[in-house]
Structure 1
Amino acid sequence: MSDFWTACLEQIKNDTPRDVFQTWFADLTADVELEAGSITILAPSGAKLRTVRDSYGTTITQYVNRQAGKEMDIVWAVAQSKPQRPFAEHVEENKPDIATTGLLPNLTFENLVEGQANQMAFASALQVASSTHSVYNPLFIYGGVGLGKTHLMHAIGNRFLKNNPKAKVLCVSAQQYTQEFVDAMRLKNVNSERYTEAMRKFDARYRGIDMLLIDDIQSFRDREGTQTNFFLTFESMVPHGKQIVLTSDTYPKNLSEFQDRLLSRLTQGLIVMIEPPEFEMRVQILLQKAERSGINMPQDVAEIIAKRIKSNVRELEGAVQQILAYTRFHQVPVTLDTAKMALRDIFKATATPVTIDNIQKAVAEYYGIKPSDIVAKSRKANLVRARQVAMYLSKELTNKSLPEIGALFGGRDHTTVIYAHRKVTSERNTDDGLKHDIHLLEQRLKN
């Protein structure tokens, strides 16, 4: 490990609560090319890389640039071998090994805020993690980006392993599963013995376990060979009482280019959705993240941030890290003024109003039609659905009156807008596919 990166870690350690440092920073290594102005930060797993990059990337960048005395190009990558832990404290022998299980020990039920947005998913996950036998198999958790799906999945694995210390648990991303399968398959036409041995090890890794958790299953899209292999993995586990937990950014029946037989398996268990957090939940998330980061955040500051950042948990975590970096660097307390300064770019972006034109374009792109189709007179079912969704969003996300909305939808009467809004409001309570469509569109528009 370079002296440069060691110095960076020393500074981060001095400014960060001990448990936060040990969990997220201690086992990061780096390849530094100071003269070239670049640094590659290496994490022990893909899951940890994504979490650290998204939640602490800005903070790390500031420490690196300050240590270098210039702006550095930062690249994130997964370490090829298990990295050293120069800053790590004594680890209990029975503590789950990240390299073996893929589980991030800090992602637990205890530090996951529960609210209306994730109540069903939270309860289902807790039951799966605490049960002595497989339930809701598979458990399929879906929702938009940054809403806590990965956290909930790791919490399941950590609780299950805590309750069953001898159990074999493996948590990977769909991309990692695919890459390992492709690496084994490449040997098929190169060396038959090596290929046979590689597939034997692959099957033993994924089929000889008690619980398999796969993140972002939508990445199997268009991967025929991987889907076939995972189908066999599924059949070797679920019928024999071995638990599978999956996450996705979309409702399972909206997964395009998936084998029908695999889709039928994915939907045979329980499907739960995580929605964007409501205001009270956002406030609690901010206060909890602030406390864990060693920040004394006043309630009124959390409420102001929660009113401005509405789309996902990851952005809330990023806001806390921005405030942490700003207040530590300038050595000032967290107040409304310092929070607004630290988050001025984020607040400026969220202040941009949603327009009906943006809504029409976003809905058209999402449903694969032209924006002109949204305002046309056509009564084709797919166009009518898209038009009604766009009207619903226009009423929900803009301050336009009903007559103004109708006028911007091809000169339609305000009663048409009322009908569309009532219809979508009613159907989203029973149609999970429509509920998911609206959820994703709202996220895109608010971002």
Structure 2
Amino acid sequence: MEKFWPACLSRFEQELSAQQFKTWIKPLKTEITDNSVRVVAPNKFVQQWVKERFLNKIEGIAEELFSHDIQIEITTSNKKSTPPSKARTNKTPLAPSGSKGINAASLEQKNKKNLNAKRATNKQNEVPSGLNPSFNFDNYVTGRANQLARAAAIQVADNAGHAYNPLFIYGGVGLGKTHLLQAIGNHLKQQNPDAKIRYLHAERYVSDVVKAYENK
């Protein structure tokens, strides 16, 4: 079974273009047991694409290599897992002997007020993101000409700073470049409401940088 997925990778690398292999096959991970193979995609879009276009090929390779039936499942990874929390080192000091001690409920309420005040201040100083909330991946019209761009944008949104960094999209007017870029920003904002995201044209970016240097 250990040779199964390397055999699949070798076959797909021969039959697909380098870009197709890098986009659809290389990001896949596998979990293999004696009678089953779980192919894990980085997101639902890649999962659906692989299931529709490559599952039959994967099953065919399994039939070539094994005399018994192999169950193959195409699924997605769980990226919602919570990272282990770090141990707190700043423990609350014990109240001095003879003192009334600290009211835990009062302390918690005070901390909550301070946090809300800080969030309110950040909200007042927040620069508008420039994102149009109506631009998202769900309502993006996909065709043969933009399937690859949409898939790459989704991977960027799911793996910000790692996948396709930087991402360059080229195309004619009205083909959805702006929609995809804003969909990335809206996806990231949805995952992390406190994230600082700005959508702006290159000319505006250069202008802001120049002004920042002038006012430095």
TM-score range normalised by the length of the shorter chain: 0.3 to 0.5
Structure richer in helix, relative to its length: 1
TM-score, length basis structure 2: 0.42
TM-score, length basis structure 1: 0.23
Larger RCO (CA within 8 A; separation ≥ 6): 2
